[in-house]
Amino acid sequence: MSNKKIIITYCFGWLVLMITLVSFIAALLDTFYAILIVGVVILLSGYIYKRISSQKLINFKSVFWSKQGLIMLFLSLGIMIYMAQFFSINYLGGRDPGAMVEAGIELANNNSLLNIHETADAFDNQDSNQLALNYPGFIFTAQGLLKTQFNLGYVVILGFWYDLLGELGLKLANAGGLLLGLFSFYLLGLKLAKNRLAAFMATALLATSFPFIWFSRQNYTEVYAFGFLMFFLLNFIQLTRKPLAEKTKHGSAVATINFYLATLSLLAFVLIRIEGIYLIILTVFVVYLKKMQGQLHLNLNQRKKYFLIAVGSIFLIYSLTISPLYKKLFKDLIGYEASNSQVQQIKEKQAGLLNKTWATQRTLWHYRITPGLLLGLGGVGIIMLGFWQKNKNKTGKKFLTWIKNLKLNSSAILFLFLSPYLILLFKPLITLDHPWMLRRFMFSLWPLLILGIFPALITLRKKFKLKKQKNLFLGLVFLVLILIQGDLLIRYAIKQENPGIKKQILELGDEFGSDELLLVDKSCGFNDWSLISEPLRYLANKNAVYIFNPQDLSKIKKYQYKKVWLLTAGDPGPYQDYLQRLSGSFTWNLYFEQLPAQKADAQPLRLPEIQKQTKQIKVYPVNLLKQGDEPK
């Protein structure tokens, strides 16, 4: 194995995979300690290093101290410094990132996935295995404890880095997935274009686009999903290409490395994103096809079979008993929703679907994604046309025979894995407000369509006979695409959301005692999805609970707390029966700086700007005793 960039990417990918998977297992075993995880990763890495060194496959010293190794090192340090300086940790609850940050911090604090906070039994009516509506992002267990409702892959990453480095860890947690994805993306581009400049410019186009400069600096699962998806594709395509050095010892060893890295990447991906089930189905199909055609250079010995069984068992146990989200995936795709324990089909009118598609395309245009997207779709079309021409003479045969003789090259395989994500162009499977909705495009459709630009440009270059200027042509097109989105890079690259919110939350928490209950209304935040109740609970260690139904006050266990307070920035009227007359009430100001969520079908559609907002929170003492009630 001589390509130093590939070797460094493989080694870095191994490290990121081991941290993720060992953290996942430690969380399931309730032995979540960062120092223990680091120790296990070092032992496993040492074992693999010894095995590879003994076969003289890689001279690690010459690789890491090479020119390529030093460039990748300094590039990684630069990105990490940038993220540490301008990262926006999603401390506020209400949306997925905030709930996962909370779950990660609680995991680090409790060394377990179960949250044993005192407020978990504040209400008398909490049902087990149901969404904990007063604790967004969590469900109640049969024991009355809280656990995250999200896939665990990203939660354990946040927990590991927080346990290891504290707040800095939350800022740097995304770096592993982001760097792994960018390195793998560059190598995939190099494989398609056979041109280093074009591959570099394509990577620069991706890294400077709005979805990456914005979402990579917040706690979104899509960042790690991007890393594992690109790393999986890199290894899988290497594994399924024409036999590596035929049946040589070296070729077999390289194929074995690709096999293990691809399998572990796929497992890590499905632990983070429920869309991973598509990858599993497509992977099985391509492997079966290549195996029948004798193009899979892999000796599936007993050890590899046991490894596949172990990985498959982990996925099945996780998806069927731990993660409830895989069931929801199918309901979303076919238009089903759960209501009163009944699954009812939602018949969506054609006009409604067209409106969603139009709103999506308008949003992509405003964020300067459309030009690259159209070129990428053109490239995908060219690849599919080539695929059809190679296989059209077989259409008269029986279907199974035709499938068996399909010719899938690396480009066709790459964009076969793109196909499920094309639905995002018509139905993003997310609330249609921006920039929130663009996170769906970040890890899958947008990177893969940028890779699709290569075949489009290569075809154009041949058509206009630009053979001598091929490097200049490819570089100029990508430079133009980068310049088109340059204004967004300037506008958003160093913008942050709520940089001082943690300090404010801690100062507010200091106003209350450990034996007091805080009932926090959603009006206290920047919007309905920016809840301050969550950081008051897991950062300030206060008995804070999000409350949305005034009737819930009657369900709170009486006499459990010395004082009960209501925090609201809205009209306290619905809670009036429980509020003591102004005695002991006070106000507190919180300052927010956020991008406002805007509807994608708004007229006119404008790019968001950071809005500064001051919320005057009114704090009222609450009397849970009704007339005739007496303290025990």
For 529-542, give the DSSP string: T-BSHHHHHHTS--
- Looking at the predicted structure, is the pLDDT value of residue 160 above 80? yes
Express each pLDDT in 389-409 by its tens digit: 776 665 555 656 666 667 777
pTM of the predicted protein model: 0.90
pLDDT at 12: 94
- What mean pLDDT, rounded, does the chain reach? 83
Burial annotation 472-492 (CB, 10 A radius, 16+ → b, else e): ebbbebbeebbebbeebbeeb
Strand partners, 565: 518, 621
CB of 530 closer than 8 Å to CB of 99: no
Tens-place pLDDT, residues 545-581: 998 888 888 778 767 788 889 999 988 888 887 786 6
Count of CB atoms within 10 A of residue 200's CB? 16
Q: What type of residue is 86?
A: F
E strands, 484-583, in order? 516-520, 543-546, 563-568
What are the helix (H) ranges across 87-195?
Answer: 96-110, 152-165, 167-193
Q: Name the phi and psi angles at 461, rounded to 5.
A: -60, -40
Secondary structure (3-state) at 579: strand
Are the C-beta atoms of residues 453 and 461 closer than 8 Å to each other?
Answer: no
Residue 99 has pLDDT above 90, yes or no: yes
Direct distance between the N- and C-terminal alpha carbons of the chain, in angstroms, rounded to an integer: 76
pLDDT digit string, tens, across residues 234-280: 999 888 875 544 456 666 778 888 899 999 999 999 999 888 888 88
Separation CA 221–CA 137 (nearest Å) = 14
Residue 305: how many CB atoms within 10 A of its CB?
Answer: 10
Q: Tokens 């947690």 appear where? A: 173
Instruction: Using DSSP, state whether 420 is helix, strand or coil.
Output: helix
- Which residues in 610-631 are b (16+ Cβ under 10 Å) and which e? eeeeebebbbbbbebeeeeeee
Residue with tokens 């120092």: 35
Q: Tell me which of 211-225, 342-356, 616-630 is least confident.
A: 342-356
* DSSP class of 625: P
Tens digits of residue pLDDT in 53-87: 777 777 777 777 788 888 888 999 999 999 999 99
Among 90-104, 288-302, 508-522, 583-597, the minimum mean pLDDT is found in 288-302
Q: Which long-range contacts (CB under 8 A, 24 or more apart) does 117-120 make?
A: 117/146, 117/537, 117/538, 118/543, 119/517, 119/537, 119/543, 119/544, 119/545, 120/144, 120/145, 120/146
The full 3-state SS of 274-327, as one line of letters, equals CCHHHHHHHHHHHHHHHHHCCCCCCCCCHHHHHHHHHHHHHHHHHHHHHCCHHH
Token pair listed for 260: 């293990």
pLDDT band per the 50, 70, 90 thresholds, residue 632: very low
Inter-helix orientation angle 4-28/249-272, to 10°:
40
**Is the pLDDT score of 326 beyond 90?**
no
Hunting for tokens 């009163």 — which residue is that? 340
pLDDT of residue 562: 87
Which of helix, strand or coil describes residue 139? strand
Stretch (H or E) spanning 598: strand 598-599
Are the C-beta atoms of residues 139 and 147 closer than 8 Å to each other?
yes
